[in-house]
Structure 1
Amino acid sequence: MTSINDPLRVLVAHPSADLYGSDRVLLETVQALLERGDRVAVALPGPGPLVAELQGRGALVEYCPTPVLRRSLLSPAGLLRLSGESLRGFRAGLQVLRRYRPDALYVNTVTVPLWPLLGRLARVPTVTHVHEAERHTSRKQQLALALPLLLANSIVANSRFTADTLGHVLPALRGRARVVYNGVPGPASPPPARPALDGRLRVAYVGRLSHRKGVDVALDAVAQLRRRGVDASLDIVGAAVPGYEDYEQLLRHRVQKLGLGQDVVFHGFQPYPWDILAGADAAVVPSRLDESFGNTAVEAVLASRPLVASSVPGLREAAEGYASAQFAAPGDAAGMADALERIVTDWDRYRAAAALDAAAAVERHAPRRYRHSIAAAVAEAAGPRG
């Protein structure tokens, strides 16, 4: 009989090879397991920038076609495509499980619902980490994401709002999720914000380019500031969601329509946002819809920059208690412009508060705390093996 503290063979299932919020959290999870002495393999649907990061840490990477639940699949044609992808994914996933023979399966999102089923069929203890809280979607979509969690042995949620949402969607899940806040590595020594703004407020947005994320709201807010006589610019870091590239073109057209010209810069995807944030005076997270948490909000605080975020539950939870953070109603460009103007008007106070908040965020979101909690959750789910 082995003990709960003995090293494990862990298979991790993840829906993409990108390097956005949940992907970075995955890296912290993998690091936690490797530091515990576990052998870790990560099943990904294909190549991408995440692969080198995983392999550099010592994890194996298995390519495995995996159906990912998206709204576009919840149509007759989409469901037909999902059926075909599920059949291929089922076979490939079973092959990976048989080849790797893990002691535990860690599923890093509810958008790959096939994996909890595969874990149950293979009798592998399964931990599902929930990063989604989709209260704004239809009941059918919410249930499609939540039902596979009934097959998991253990559930981890990235916020109280996420855990509460699970119980709201499916009462059988109420109280089952363990809340573990994301570990967010910050810059080694963030440069302090400028002593004076010198006439221009430099604003940064970091994240996916999508209507849901509200990047156009940030553009409108900057345009409103300029109409009020407040000089401002916007740096946009991120790429469009695959299949929604037209949104980026709409943003570029809107820049020209608003007369922002050279005052808005599209930097594309950047694996690490710290240089952009270091050059900014403030950061915005203008999401239109529910967010389960807000890694980008935490990153702004860690970078010692005042933050303006949408007043949605996950973002409020991520930035609660920080004096340098303000909130505006989702989609409210005027409210976001008001908050940014307050930063300009009272720069010394917001600058000092941001420095204090950064120190607090380093402890609240320390990767070591996250790693300890996640490694414990996987080890407990696996249990002693005989």
Structure 2
Amino acid sequence: MVNILYAHYGEEWIRGSEQCLLNLLDHIDKRHFQPIVWSNNQVLCQRTEAMQIATHHDTFSLLGYGYRDKASFWQWGKLVTRAVKLIRRHQIGLIHVNSAGPCQWLVFAAKLCQVPLVTQLHSPYILSERFYSGCYASSKIIAVSHAVSHDILADGYPHKQLAVIHNGIAALPASLHSPYWVREQLGLSPETRLFATVGSLIHRKGIDRLINALAQLHRQGEKRHTQGEQLHLLVIGDGPLKKQLQDIAKQQQVDHLVTWAGEQRDVYQWLSGGIDGFVSGAREEAFGLVVAEAALAKLPVIAPNIGGIPEFVAHQHSALLYDDDQGLLQCWSDLLTDFDTLAPTLSANAQQTVAHNLTLDNNANKIERVYHHVLSEPAQNHVKLSRCLLPLKIYLAKRQSSGASHA
């Protein structure tokens, strides 16, 4: 039995990386691995405690420019000391960092205690973040998509020390048998095409792009003397840009075609309630968890051709993928025009792909193989602090190249 310390730094919510960690903890082979959780996220800690997992909640702060929870070297040293105490108290045999931040102190604690450390990255990080986090000192890095791995390998991190493991998606829950019939709640006619999008109301999720595309489709429908109200957008999620996005909808005169559902815990229950399709306006997407969830709910998907999304769905086979705003408009229009033929084909292919390849058991099994691999390596190969300098080398090389070019 190997005791694993799972460390997570994040906001007070359960979203992509938090849900992936909870899924892993639920499916990890407890005959071989015993999890212990350490996080600054109280909501996550409450969930892991409910799972009967030993949990430690602490305040985390980070060294480096631009972090909200900015640390001093004194605070950093206290976190290193705290980590060493936890490792020794629980006789930790392996550390799994679920976001890059905690690597700042855990790579040093792991080095002191001669314990292997695995870091799982759920999103791409800019060069300064890759440097300040120290994540390259990890025994192994798990990237949730090839898109996330690109910059890591370009920095010179050893290819053999990196594994790309796509996230797993939970099987359809029992709540699908009692879906939330939003169409009936809104009083929409049977002819109305109801599309849903899921995500935080922040710039990166691109809800404004969807509203603008909706407005153009609405105007096109009016010009053709068809009922413009035959298209409706359901926005599931909340965030700081809600008022701004609602203002955009009013300015575009489509606020009556948008429903703001707010944050919802059981997204499946909504996606199964008479929704006709799913559309994403994301500007960045490391993996595309909500796209996979929509595919599993057997909805035709329109999504950006970015990040990890094209790694599990293919254009015109299991989704309609676009590259820019005009492409979004064209894909949405194409699906509406040929809905009865195109929608069943896209949704069936996507559901089959996700259900077969992106299971939680597959995800847990692949991560367990990473654990076994790093545990079999000699202690001196576990954590290499010199790798922390890899991003610095890239930065200096860029500066030198820029200077030469300017000269």
- 2: CA distance, partners of 1:89 / 1:212: 31
Q: Residue 23 of structure 2: which of 25, 28, 45 is its match?
A: 28
Q: Distance in 2 between matches of 1:238 and 1:94?
A: 39
- 1:112-261 equivalences in 2 (<5 Å): 112-114=102-104, 115-134=106-125, 137=126, 139-145=127-133, 148-168=134-154, 170-188=155-173, 198-229=190-221, 230=228, 231-240=230-239, 245=240, 247-261=241-255
Which moves more between the two structures, 265-274 or 53-62?
53-62
Change in CA separation of 1:142 and 1:106 when aligned onto 2, cut-off 3 Å? closer
Residue 351 (str. 1) matches residue 343 (str. 2): yes
Residues 269, 96 of structure 1: CA spacing in aligned structure 2 closer, same or farther, 3 A cutoff? farther
The alignment of Structure 1 onto Structure 2 pairs a total of residues equal to 358
Q: 1:64, 1:379 → 2: CA distance?
A: 29
Query: 2:299 & 2:53 partners in 1: Cα distance?
Result: 34
Distance 2:48 2:356 in 1: 25
1:3 maps to: none
Task: Provide structure 1 residue ranges, at least 5 long, that are not aligned to the other structure.
Answer: 1-6
The one-letter code of the counterpart of 1:90 is V
Q: Distance in 2 between matches of 1:383 and 1:175?
A: 15
* 1:11 CA displacement: 0.7
Pick aligned residue for 1:382 from 375, 378, 381:
375
Instruction: Say if 1:90 and 1:359 are closer, same or farther in 2 by CA, change over 3 A.
Output: same
Q: Distance in 2 between matches of 1:122 and 1:25?
A: 27
RMSD, aligned CA: 2.9
User: Which amino acid counterpart does residue 96 of structure 1 have in structure 2?
Assistant: L
Cα-to-partner distance string for 1:222-241 (whole Å, 9 max, x where unaligned): 1221111153221112232x
Shift of 1:92: 3.6
What's the offset of the Cα at 1:324? 3.6
Of 270, 279, 289, 1:276 maps to: 270
- Asked whether the equivalents of residues 282 and 306 of structure 1 are also in contact (C-alpha less than 8 Å), the reply is yes
Once residues 321 and 344 of structure 2 are traced to their aligned partners in structure 1, the CA distance between those partners, rounded to angstroms, is 19
How much does 1:108 deviate? 0.9
Give, in whole Å, the separation in 2 of the partners of 1:37 and 1:281: 44
1:310 deviates by 1.3
Alignment partners' CA distance in 2, 1:214 and 1:109: 23
How far apart, CA to CA, are the structure 2 residues paired with 1:303 and 1:109?
28
Aligned amino acid, residue 52 of structure 2: G
| Aligned mates of 1:273, 1:346 — CA distance in 2 | 27
- Are 2:69 and 1:83 equivalent residues in the alignment? no
Q: Which residue of 1 aligns with 2:282?
A: 287
Per-residue CA deviations over 1:305-335 (Å, capped at 9, x if unaligned) read 11111121322223237724111224x1x43
Report the equivalent of 1:368: 361
**1:263–1:117 CA distance, 2 compared to 1 (3 A):** farther
The answer on whether the counterparts of 2:145 and 2:307 sit within 8 Å (CA) in structure 1 is no
Deviations 1:168-188 (A, max 9, x none): 1x1133342111111111414
Q: Distance in 2 between matches of 1:325 and 1:292?
A: 17
CA contact (8 A) 1:105 1:124 kept: yes
Deviations 1:195-235 (A, max 9, x none): xx943221111122210111111111112211111532211
Higher alpha-carbon Rg: 2
- 2-structure distance, mates of 1:249, 1:113: 36
Q: Is the 8 A contact 1:183 1:369 kept in 2?
A: yes
Identity among equivalent positions (%) equals 21
Going from structure 1 to structure 2, the CA distance change for 1:234 and 1:349 (only over 3 Å counts) comes to same
Check conservation: 2:61, 2:69, Cα contact below 8 A: no
Per the alignment, in what secondary structure is the counterpart of residue 13 of structure 1?
strand
2:292 equivalent in structure 1: 298
What's the TM-score once normalised by structure 1's chain length?
0.83
Aligned partner (choices 92, 97, 100) of residue 107 of structure 1 = 97
Are the counterparts in 2 of residues 116 and 128 from structure 1 also a CA contact under 8 Å? Answer: no
1:13 and 2:7 correspond: yes
Moved over 4 A (4+): 188-192
